[in-house]
């Protein structure tokens, strides 16, 4: 059976939640492999709306195993609150349906405080983080001072890990004019929450290996989008982890030979939350219209998303860096009624034409989009479930996107409802 990785090909908010939910009905295991609760997925199932941040999207599907991999940084207090919220909506969550990798690093209250403290500094440019501590938690992981899930099981180890972390953090906080961390209070908080988290702890790499050997279908779920990747995104306005598909292997312990197909989730236009370059951003009536029709407000922060035309150059880049085999094109219905649509096919930079976004931040900021115009359509695409339901011009738009990004369209989503999906290529096909 095929194992599928789902990644966002833009700056996040592409509609991964719905697509993962749509695919998860046919998967046996759904695994989160990076990011933290800074990413939000909204799932609409019938009359029920689920807003997930830390939990894998598969938890709302009965009979599935959901996994939080070691590539994630986990806020244990947020996780437990989210579990209770979803349980209140009638979803069964137990150690039989949810596992957390034992080597998953934890997000502590001090990480969020540091995140917000840095963003409050007026002497440096803002990155536009969510302030939830994701970046500082990844820093501690790389700095070998993280507290991981397995550390909660032994008091002596936990105390040693806290002391090592505070040696760094208290010095850093002093430089920012912040009070030192209350060591005893932090240890007490972790000791109190430990048994509630440890009941979900497991050697995820081993479980996934056994599932794969048994022929089970595994769906790997990413957060954010590839343009926020720490290496291949618009640095420094990026997240603190690798977002591209290769991280699915490192972030779960599966191994790269366990990945059979990569599905790139791609919005039919472009959005971005927070700071950073955005070549096709629209600050006119068209941008306002896209935002209003697409309900473009962040699931996690509630911040208004910046909106712009589809950027084929950026998506072509992310399809290459993630090895995307096909894309799921979402929110096509938001474009209904536009007389003319534009697609970015290149950039003009200092008098030269480029077919990719350069790496240097100053060049990214100066790159001007080169547009190709295409006629829009007046009929609705909302709720379409087959090619026959789409206006001819909408099909032409989809086909032109395929040509420009050098990657086929595998799915087309035409509303938040999971059944309003046109299947072109089955990602799970052997």
Q: Is 41 a catalytic residue?
A: yes
Residue 222's closest CA among 79, 76, 57, 98?
57
Q: What does the block give as tokens for 361?
A: 């931040």
Sequence-distant (≥ 6) Cβ neighbours of residue 127 within 8 angstroms = 119, 135, 236, 237, 274, 275
In this structure, is the dihedral angle defined by the CA atoms of residues 379, 381, 386 and 392, taken in order, positive or negative?
Answer: positive
Q: Do the Cβ atoms of 300 and 360 come closer than 8 Å? A: no
Q: Is 13 a catalytic residue?
A: yes
Catalytic residue among 41, 53, 111, 169: 41
Q: What does the block give as tokens for 92?
A: 């069964």
Letter string b/e over residues 179-217, b meaning 16 or more CB atoms within 10 A of that residue's CB? eebeeeebbeebeebbeebbebbbebbebbeebbeeeeb
Q: What does the block give as tokens for 261?
A: 């197909």
Catalytic residue among 13, 140, 229, 420: 13
Sequence-distant (≥ 6) Cβ neighbours of residue 58 within 8 angstroms = 20, 21, 24, 27, 29, 30, 64, 65, 66, 219, 221
From first CA to last CA, the distance across the chain in angstroms is: 6
Task: Give the SS3 label for residue 413.
Answer: strand
DSSP 81-133: HHHHHHHHTT---STTTEEEETTPBBPPHHHHHHHHHHHT-TTS------SSS
| Residue 416 DSSP code | S
Catalytic positions, please? 13, 41
């Amino acid at each position: 059976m095929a194992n599928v990785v789902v990644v966002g090909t833009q700056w996040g908010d592409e509609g991964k939640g719905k697509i993962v939910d749509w695919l998860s009905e046919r998967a046996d295991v759904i695994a989160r492999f990076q990011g933290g609760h800074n990413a939000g997925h909204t799932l609409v199932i019938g009359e029920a709306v689920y807003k997930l941040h830390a939990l894998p999207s598969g938890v709302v599907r009965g009979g599935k195993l959901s996994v939080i991999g070691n590539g994630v940084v986990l806020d244990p207090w947020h996780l437990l609150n989210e579990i209770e919220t979803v349980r209140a909506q009638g979803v069964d969550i137990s150690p039989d349906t949810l596992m957390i990798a034992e080597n998953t690093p934890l997000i502590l209250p001090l990480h969020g405080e540091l995140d917000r403290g840095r963003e409050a500094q007026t002497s440096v440019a803002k990155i536009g983080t969510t302030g939830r501590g994701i970046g500082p938690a990844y820093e501690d992981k790389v700095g070998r001072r993280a507290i991981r899930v397995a550390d909660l099981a032994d008091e002596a180890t936990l105390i040693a890990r806290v002391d090592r972390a505070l040696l760094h953090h208290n010095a850093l906080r002093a430089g920012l004019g912040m009070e030192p961390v209350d060591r005893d209070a932090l240890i007490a908080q972790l000791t109190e929450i430990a048994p509630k988290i440890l009941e979900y702890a497991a050697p995820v790499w081993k479980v996934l290996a056994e599932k794969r050997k048994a022929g089970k279908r595994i769906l790997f779920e990413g957060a954010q989008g590839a343009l926020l990747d720490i290496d291949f995104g618009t640095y420094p306005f990026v997240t603190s982890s690798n977002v591209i598909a290769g991280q699915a292997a490192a972030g779960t312990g599966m191994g790269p030979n366990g990945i059979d197909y990569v599905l790139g989730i791609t919005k039919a236009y472009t959005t971005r939350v927070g700071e950073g370059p955005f070549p096709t951003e629209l600050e006119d009536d068209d941008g306002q219209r896209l935002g209003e029709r697409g309900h473009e407000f962040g699931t996690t922060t509630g911040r208004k998303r910046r909106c712009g035309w589809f950027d084929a150059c950026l998506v072509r880049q992310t399809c290459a860096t993630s090895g995307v085999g096909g894309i799921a094109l979402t929110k096509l219905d938001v474009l209904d009624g536009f007389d003319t649509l534009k697609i970015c096919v290149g950039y003009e930079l200092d008098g030269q034409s480029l077919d990719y976004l350069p790496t240097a931040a100053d060049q990214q900021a100066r790159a001007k989009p080169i547009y190709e115009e295409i006629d829009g359509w007046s009929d609705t695409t909302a709720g379409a479930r087959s090619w026959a339901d789409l206006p001819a011009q909408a099909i032409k738009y989809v086909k032109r996107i395929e040509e420009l990004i050098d990657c086929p369209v595998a799915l087309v989503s035409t509303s938040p409802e999971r059944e309003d999906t046109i299947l072109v290529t089955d990602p799970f096909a052997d």
